[in-house]
Amino acid sequence: MRRTTGVVATAVDGGTTASALSTHPLAATLQRGRELTHGGYDLSVPLGVTSEDGWMSVAGLLGDPRLLDEALAAFGREIGSSRRDVQASLLLEAYVWRLILPLAGALLAESRVPTPGLDGTAVRLTSEGVPCSIRLLQGRFAALPGDPAIEHPDAHVVCNRGVLDRCLRTWLIAHFDPFVEKLNAASGRPRAALWRSVADRTATALLYAGLASNRPAAARVIAERTLAGDPPLSYPPRYIEIGEQSVHLRHGCCLWWRTDSATTCLTCPLRVARGNRASPCRDRAVPPPPDG
């Protein structure tokens, strides 16, 4: 990696370039994800190493306590919170969302599960050190026997649809276990709370990907197989309709209300669970009326 100006801006060296991966079967899948959208989000993500400054592997970020601490602090300035637990929670939420949405799209639209490692995923940091986007550096993926790319060296062929769906769960646990451990150590945010964030954002990503690919029923099946197992991913999807909007009722609060925005999310358990449980949150979030 090359260090440039800025707090933690770097560029990823080594690996396979984006141009070299332009004909990779997974690149085509992820590129086609641009045409699938829901709620203003598409299902694409870049694949391949880039020479642009600001990129570093997630493994590199997590492996350097100082860089991770700087990234959390920079993210905190962006969202308006000096609390490390808030920074860790919302940084994880943002990363899960940006990563899982295109992966869920690839599974639902083309029956492929990208399986990048932490060294095969990169985040881009602004000159202030704020993580702002992601890309995949590796093209590994799981697929079914009928996939036209089963002879590709990056393809891992599984026997049936059920096994393919469960590949997402296996990959999620392997990918996010070290992420959760590092964020827990850096912030004190409980591991269970961080895993709830992984599950909640994954459930919503699968919901959006299902609607974007016109396969909502399949998305719900995959969400159940992925999230309704043993710990650490033991938070099954809870899909409902609020008005005309399909949503997932979260299992845990992401702490967004503790930022400068000072609002609870529509599906926050503090808002929707057990009657008026959100009242303490709202009391702190909303400024009191002026006297007189």
146, exposed or middle or buried, with CB in 10 Å at 0-12, 13-18, 19+? exposed
**Looking at the domain assignment, is residue 287 inside a domain?**
no
Give the per-residue pLDDT at 275: 45
In a domain, 269, yes or no: no
Q: Which structural domain range is residue 170 located in?
A: 2-237
- CA distance readout (Å), 50 to 6, 64, 152, 184: 18, 21, 23, 30
- Count of residues for the chain? 292
The H-or-E segment that residue 218 falls in is helix 216-227
- Residue 261 inside a domain? The answer is no
Paired with 134 in beta bridges are: 123
CATH number at residue 190: 1.10.510.40
Residue 256 belongs to a domain: no
Residue 144, in any domain of the structure = yes
Q: How far apart are CA 74 and CA 212, in angstroms?
A: 33
The answer to the question of residue 244 being in a domain is no
Q: What is the pLDDT along the chain (292 residues), one digit of tens a residue?
A: 223 223 333 445 445 666 667 789 999 999 999 999 999 999 999 999 988 999 999 999 999 999 999 999 999 999 999 999 999 999 999 999 999 999 999 999 999 999 999 999 999 988 888 888 999 999 999 999 999 999 999 999 999 999 999 999 999 999 999 999 999 999 999 999 999 999 999 999 999 999 999 999 999 999 999 999 999 999 999 999 988 899 999 999 999 999 998 788 889 888 765 544 444 444 433 443 444 3
Per-residue pLDDT, 19: 66
- Total domains in the fold of the chain: 1
DSSP H/E element including 94: helix 84-110
Alpha-carbon distance 232 to 24, whole Å?
A: 33
Structure tokens at 218: 């399949």
CA separation for the pair 134, 56 (Å, rounded): 9
Pairing outcome for strands 155-157 and 141-143: parallel
Model-wide pTM > 0.85? yes
- Judge whether 285 lies within some domain: no
Contacts of 26 (CB under 8 A, 6+ apart): 47, 106, 112, 114, 136, 139, 141, 154
Bridge partner residues of 133 (DSSP): 124
Q: For residue 261, what pLDDT is reported?
A: 82
Residue 99 falls within a domain, yes or no? Answer: yes
